[in-house]
Structure 1
Amino acid sequence: MTDRSTAAGAAPRWLRAAIPAVLILVWLAVFGLGGASFGRLSDVVVNDQAQFLPASAEATEVNELQAEFRDADLIPAIVVVASDSTLDDAQTTAIDDLRESVLAVDGVVADESSPVIPSEDGEAAQFVASIATGDDATPSNEVVAEIRDVLEEHPIEGAESAVTGPAGFTADLAGAFSGIDGLLLAVALLAVFLILIVVYRSPLLPILVLLTSLTALCASVLIVVSLAAADILPISGQTQGILFILVIGAATDYALLYLARYQEALTVHERRWDATWAALKGAWEPIVASGGTVIVGLLILLASELTSNKILGPVAAIGIACSLLAALTLLPALLLWAGRVAFWPRRIRVGETRTGAAAIGDDPTQGRGLWAAVGRLVARRPRTVWIAATLVLAAMCLGLPQLKADGVPTSEFVLGTSQARDGQELLGEHFPAGSGTPAVIVGPEADLQAMADIALATDGVDTVTVLAEDSPAGQAAVTEDGIQAFGPPGTPAPEPTVVDGEVLLQATLDDPADSLEAEATVEQLRVALDEVGEDVLVGGSTAVALDTIDASLADRALIIPLVLAAILVILMLLLRSIVAPLLLIASVVLSFAAALGVSAWVFNGIFGFPGADPSVPLFAFVFLVALGVDYNIFLMTRVREESVAHGTRAGIVRGLRLTGGVITSAGLVLAATFAALGVLPILFLVQISFIVAFGVLLDTFLVRTLLVPALSYDLGRVIWQPSKLARGAR
């Protein structure tokens, strides 16, 4: 029967034509502006780990103090040349010439660079090329690329050379992120397109859904780039990759939920306008609730100590907000324009009973198809089903203690080939492994010798130098006997550089600067130097990594409980219940633990990863819990709607059958988009990719399909306590 009684149907024809036309034109303009902003992303992305430390971190304070000791902000690139035998005169001369060519590269600050330093075994030499950083400087990764070109153009016979150090690792990381605009988006969009083609068997629908998702992404990029350019919201390559995937996945999920409601409405309403309003009426609440839950979870990241975590929150929240707006405005306008043609070659007619509530009939346990069979299983053996599902998830959790998420060396950030990692290994074979990236100590001038003595007495410290004036190397060695000059015998010791009564010491470590051993040495240094005074600070690249890990661990302990509490409150308000939200939260947390447990087995036993960053479980938790609750919201809002009319147990089976197809499609889409992150050779993103994709599949096929419906069915109307629905007859 055709329903023409909606108030929206009374709108004049010109208005029914103008509203979708204006919406489409506005979004197309956003699409164009946002598309142009993609080209500006590389200009605003920052991949320096030190940029994202909390302001209170000791390494951050040292970084700020270092700037006062130097004329420019610098990042060191270490050029190392090594041979299998003692370097001869020709090779030594070639290395000197190589240094001159490197110092001539635009962006290298020659006055702040070091001379050639030979190794004790005579088989290698190194020098530091200091690269200027800052707003007006050439990006350090581009300078490193030019230095590496110089090395290729000036090969040294019988020796190998490489560029390593902080600048080298930053360049390799930037190179790994270089495929983020093209490859990542192409893989994600192709995966989504293929899934939609298989699910809907329509050539036009996938295009409309992907156009909605891409437009939401363009809007997000436009806003984020504008904020980053204004120095309001910095963005890293890591955050950029997550933004892309999150927007494509979330916007597609919301679009699929609306699409299911629109398809159902077309079987009831003859006019597309009436079907559109009916679909919006049924879809807006779960979509807004789901998106709002994710946004709240992401914004809680603002409470993080680590700036990179804090930044991800609003950036990703902007993406989700754009996804919500596009799914509730652009897609309805596009489908209103396309009408039933969007589903071609399938024909949807008024009165059709293959779709929606009419297809179920009075007895939800009867009927054909996969979801009818699942509904019968849940209704007939609910306790067996939810206990079995819980045991399966619990078994997966057994791998959780094996998850090594206490930090990994910087050299392991990039998977595959890394010249910086190869160069660091080469450096460690002939020099103290921490050469070129020393720990930095800043303290009072009066305590210079005391600080040096303590540093030299610390296990893991090889040598100590002080930044000095009128020194050929810009620094002088500090021994237990005092400051020694770098130069010929008899050269007078230079005076240390003093800024506001403080001096700067550099402690070269025995271990690679990014190693766990080096971090332990820095911790010992800090404890020992506290005896000199609390105003003695230790920084440098190793301290940056150490403080980053400490901040990540603190964030994990703070953010996870806050996210759980916030989502629980949202679910209680949405479902007007206490029991059901508690069950949903418990199920998603169990699913998250299971995903981590399986991931630990995979990371250790199959991929052989060296470990994981402490923020990996945190990000995985925020995404999995917030997005996993999405599917439960889609399910339980429909269950509540059906329970009001048919009773709780019948409503559970009806809700499961009505949402089964769309939620499964949404889960497959979201898992595929997060799996696309794995194409980037970044350890952090590959791990996030696997955990979230696997966890989403668990939520889609086990938690939402079996565990939640079966447990809810077993408990019955008590799940709606303390609302009036809990006092119903069924």
Structure 2
Amino acid sequence: MPRILTEAHMTSLITGRRSAWVLALVPFFLALVLIGAVGEGDRASRSTDALPAGLDSTEGTALLDRLPEAASSAAIVLFTADRGELSRDQLAALRDAGAGLADGGSPLVLAEDGTAALLAVPVPAGSAGEVADRVSALRAAADDAAPDGVQAQVTGPAAVQADLAAVFDGANTRLLLVTALVVAVLLVITYRSPVLWLVPLVVVGVADRLAAVLATQVMARVDVAWDESTVGILSVLVFGTGTDYALLLISRYRDELRTEPSRRRAMAHALRRTAEAVLASATTVVLGLLTLLLSLTPTTRGLGLACAVGVVVAAAFALVVLPAALVLFGRWVFWPRVPHVGEAVTVEADTVWHRIGARVARRPALVAGGSLVLLALMATGIGRIHLGLDQAEQFLDEPEAISAATRLAESFPAGTADPTQVVTEGSGDAVLRAVRSVDGVTSARVSATGGGVVVVDAVLSGRSGENADVVTALREAVAPYDAHVTGAEAKALDEREGSDRDLRLIVPLILVLVLGGLVVLLRSVVAPLLLVVTVVATYAAAMGASWWLFTGPLGFGAMDSGVPLFAFLFLVALGVDYNIFLVTRAREEAAGHGSRGGMLRALSATGGVITSAGILLAAVFAVLGVLPLVVLAQLGTIICLGVLLDTLLVRTLVVPALALVLGDRFWWPRRVA
């Protein structure tokens, strides 16, 4: 909140009899108009949207778009005998059926073991929904065409795309409803009021829908890519941060109502004392999210921009619409626990947080040391993390495209369903010879020409995820011919390289931005350094502990290559929020009670609200598991665990203990007492 706005200005603007109505209702109805009349933005997707810019597979994919038949994808219809080998009658029936199924495709190919046959079918390209409809129709036709004793399944790139689209069919609505339900339940538990929980829920809910509209419209206007998961993650973040800000404001407002007869002046006091922390928190998160604009991957850049817009909207609604709405409702909105003048404020009450603070104060060095050792033990798993999910590992529930590819690999070379593609503008014959010379290539053929482009399909012998060395050898073999290697295996390899580059560039930048923001906010050096160290320690512990969960109870063999960066961003940016809420209150209290007393009073005052906010945020990110994709389940698990560690261990024990050990030096070079 700009300092030019005095308490009197804030009172007249936010809490005035007329202006409160304006600030509560006008943004609310304008948001509803935008949501209904404008709607979410739209943008035609490109084949390279999810690929890191400038890498080999991305360049090859861009060349493929020049082919006359680029507007199609491939599906593989796999026919397998229920028992033993396919009979002559079954093969004859399949050949007859194949003529109708594979219009413009390849003839039926029988496996050497005789138990399976496959048919390559071109699928016209289109939106994810259109491809899904075409694959669904193909599956129905293949089932009808399969004779008795033969099972038909569809796999290949088009089928994988269709099954991925099925994952997101209605997913954002489902995710939004589950998120809202989780937030509602936790708000009811927190406030134990039949009315109060509705106010922040409605305000944050409208902010979420407005954020989705504004974010997608902005991305469409500036031509930034986004994918199916972007709006879902945006909703989770807006609900999480918006509700956190609401909890902080309402907690302070409740305390002010116990000392101030006028609800309008009470809100003015509460807003003035929480706005700095909320704005600092939101600014930190927004700056962290905007670092994703430096990513090589277009959809990652889109996620950063969308979520930054979402946090701005959430903070604006929490600081403008919510306080005005609460003032309009008056004290009764807290019923049945209505705060009255003369009641003990939270900081003076004998709460569990007051008792925890007293115990930490007895042996702060032991508490800090023991807690840090625990975090270090949890972080030991970080050195064992294996990055990179193959195509079969990306789904929590195995879809038909993956099970069919697994069965296909039992009778055909593993890469048959999705061959690696070598794309060149030069001599196709020379590239074909070079490809065939590489160990690990089972077969190779020129599959397409046109638009000055030649495509060589190479079937690799290894299973999905086992061909990194073969892809590297292919690239070395075709390098003299200005050719590019693409396809699922090559893309996975480049995605790992792109993620590694993003991690090395963006992580240090996030740390610098967070540290700089804390230095400006606290006008201190020691406290910001310690806070940054604690959130990094929390990240390491969450990553390490999550890896043990992944390889144990959850049964994941690897971690998606993009998860470490996203987890770091969200945990550092959101984790520092709670420390901001704590230390800004400690600085305020230290002015009258000294550094030691100020920190203990801050823990007593903010312990309940920050713990509620942390549990809520952890639960909201856990909701990402509603979507049956491994990457989102992993991200949700890490952030959920990290937020709980930050809330219950770091903010409750580690930071207060370090502050008590250092005393006034914690605020150096500033003097706060």
TM-score category by the smaller chain? over 0.9
Q: Secondary structure at the match of 1:69?
A: coil
User: In structure 2, what is the Cα distance between the partners aligned to 1:294 and 1:664?
Assistant: 19
One of 535, 543, 562 as aligned partner of 2:490: 543
Amino acid at match of 1:395: L
Q: Secondary structure at the match of 2:196?
A: helix
1:589 corresponds to: 536
User: In structure 1, what is the Cα distance between the partners aligned to 2:473 and 2:655?
Assistant: 50
Q: Please, which runs of 5 or more residues in structure 2 have no aligned partner?
A: 1-5
1:116 corresponds to: 108
CA contact (8 A) 1:37 1:225 kept: no
User: In structure 1, what is the Cα distance between the partners aligned to 2:44 and 2:275?
Assistant: 34
CA contact (8 A) 1:62 1:537 kept: yes
User: What are the superposed Cα offsets for residues 495-534 of structure 1, whole Å, 9 maximum, x if unpaired?
Assistant: xx4644x53222122234xx2222321111002222x34x
User: In structure 2, what is the Cα distance between the partners aligned to 1:452 and 1:304?
Assistant: 34
Amino acid at match of 1:568: L
CA contact (8 A) 1:8 1:277 kept: no
Is 2:615 the counterpart of 1:668? yes
Is 2:407 the counterpart of 1:408? no
1:16 corresponds to: 17
CA contact (8 A) 2:77 2:153 kept: yes
User: In structure 1, what is the Cα distance between the partners aligned to 2:44 and 2:247?
Assistant: 32
The TM-score with structure 2 as length reference comes to 0.94
Name the count of aligned residue pairs: 667
1:82 corresponds to: 80
One of 417, 436, 439 as aligned partner of 1:459: 439
Q: Which has the larger radius of gyration?
A: 1
Task: Report the Cα offset of residue 720 of structure 1.
Answer: 1.1
1:481 corresponds to: none
One of 386, 399, 417 as aligned partner of 2:368: 386
User: In structure 2, what is the Cα distance between the partners aligned to 1:444 and 1:178?
Assistant: 38
Question: How do 1:306-385 residues align onto structure 2 when only pairs under 5 Å count?
Answer: 306-353=297-344, 355-357=345-347, 360=348, 368-385=350-367
User: What are the superposed Cα offsets for residues 476-510 of structure 1, whole Å, 9 maximum, x if unpaired?
Assistant: xxxxxxxxxxxxxxxxxxxxx4644x532221222
Task: Report the Cα offset of residue 138 of structure 1.
Answer: 6.1
2:71 corresponds to: 73
User: What are the superposed Cα offsets for residues 640-672 of structure 1, whole Å, 9 maximum, x if unpaired?
Assistant: 111122211111111111111110110011011
Is 2:62 the counterpart of 1:56? no
**Residues 1:28 and 1:444: Cα distance change in structure 2 (over 3 Å):** closer
2:174 corresponds to: 183
Is 2:163 the counterpart of 1:212? no
Question: How do 1:191-270 residues align onto structure 2 when only pairs under 5 Å count?
Answer: 191-227=182-218, 229-230=220-221, 232-270=223-261
Q: Secondary structure at the match of 1:506?
A: strand
Is 2:653 the counterpart of 1:702? no
Task: Report the Cα offset of residue 401 of structure 1.
Answer: 1.6
CA contact (8 A) 1:592 1:621 kept: yes
Amino acid at match of 2:303: L
CA contact (8 A) 1:45 1:236 kept: no
Task: Report the Cα offset of residue 100 of structure 1.
Answer: 4.7
User: In structure 1, what is the Cα distance between the partners aligned to 2:359 and 2:664?
Assistant: 19
User: In structure 2, what is the Cα distance between the partners aligned to 1:270 and 1:45?
Assistant: 57
Larger deviation, residues 536-545 vs 646-655: 536-545
**Residues 1:12 and 1:230: Cα distance change in structure 2 (over 3 Å):** closer
Task: Report the Cα offset of residue 27 of structure 1.
Answer: 1.4
Larger deviation, residues 640-649 vs 566-575: 640-649
**Residues 1:713 and 1:15: Cα distance change in structure 2 (over 3 Å):** closer
User: In structure 1, what is the Cα distance between the partners aligned to 2:217 and 2:15?
Assistant: 36
2:121 corresponds to: 129
2:3 corresponds to: none
CA contact (8 A) 1:75 1:133 kept: yes
Amino acid at match of 2:116: A
Is 2:504 the counterpart of 1:557? yes
Amino acid at match of 1:669: L
CA contact (8 A) 1:432 1:508 kept: yes
**Residues 1:329 and 1:498: Cα distance change in structure 2 (over 3 Å):** closer
Is 2:403 the counterpart of 1:417? no
CA contact (8 A) 1:247 1:319 kept: yes
CA contact (8 A) 2:420 2:457 kept: yes
Amino acid at match of 1:234: A
User: In structure 2, what is the Cα distance between the partners aligned to 1:339 and 1:402?
Assistant: 55
User: In structure 2, what is the Cα distance between the partners aligned to 1:14 and 1:719?
Assistant: 37
**Residues 1:202 and 1:191: Cα distance change in structure 2 (over 3 Å):** same
User: In structure 1, what is the Cα distance between the partners aligned to 2:62 and 2:601?
Assistant: 61
User: What are the superposed Cα offsets for residues 140-195 of structure 1, whole Å, 9 maximum, x if unpaired?
Assistant: 12221222232344443111111111111122222222352233223222222222
CA contact (8 A) 2:435 2:444 kept: yes
Question: How do 1:592-631 residues align onto structure 2 when only pairs under 5 Å count?
Answer: 592-631=539-578
CA contact (8 A) 2:538 2:645 kept: yes
Task: Report the Cα offset of residue 237 of structure 1.
Answer: 2.1
2:277 corresponds to: 286
User: What are the superposed Cα offsets for residues 31-74 of structure 1, whole Å, 9 maximum, x if unpaired?
Assistant: 35436777x68x7696x884221331211221221222324422
Is 2:161 the counterpart of 1:170? yes
2:27 corresponds to: 26
User: In structure 1, what is the Cα distance between the partners aligned to 2:88 and 2:65?
Assistant: 38
Task: Report the Cα offset of residue 97 of structure 1.
Answer: 4.6
The percentage of counterpart residues that share the same residue type is 39
Q: Secondary structure at the match of 1:606?
A: coil
1:518 corresponds to: 467
User: What are the superposed Cα offsets for residues 223-275 of structure 1, whole Å, 9 maximum, x if unpaired?
Assistant: 13324555723321232221121111111001101111211221232222222
CA contact (8 A) 2:419 2:460 kept: yes
CA contact (8 A) 1:35 1:218 kept: no
User: In structure 2, what is the Cα distance between the partners aligned to 1:573 and 1:140?
Assistant: 51
User: In structure 1, what is the Cα distance between the partners aligned to 2:648 and 2:460?
Assistant: 51
Amino acid at match of 2:250: L
**Residues 1:315 and 1:458: Cα distance change in structure 2 (over 3 Å):** same
CA contact (8 A) 1:290 1:633 kept: yes
Q: Please, which runs of 5 or more residues in structure 1 have no aligned partner?
A: 104-109, 361-366, 469-496
Q: Secondary structure at the match of 1:335?
A: helix
User: What are the superposed Cα offsets for residues 392-446 of structure 1, whole Å, 9 maximum, x if unpaired?
Assistant: 1111112222222x20111211112310111101211221111142222233544
Task: Report the Cα offset of residue 718 of structure 1.
Answer: 0.6
The TM-score with structure 1 as length reference comes to 0.87
User: What are the superposed Cα offsets for residues 564-610 of structure 1, whole Å, 9 maximum, x if unpaired?
Assistant: 11100000000100000000000111111111111111101111102
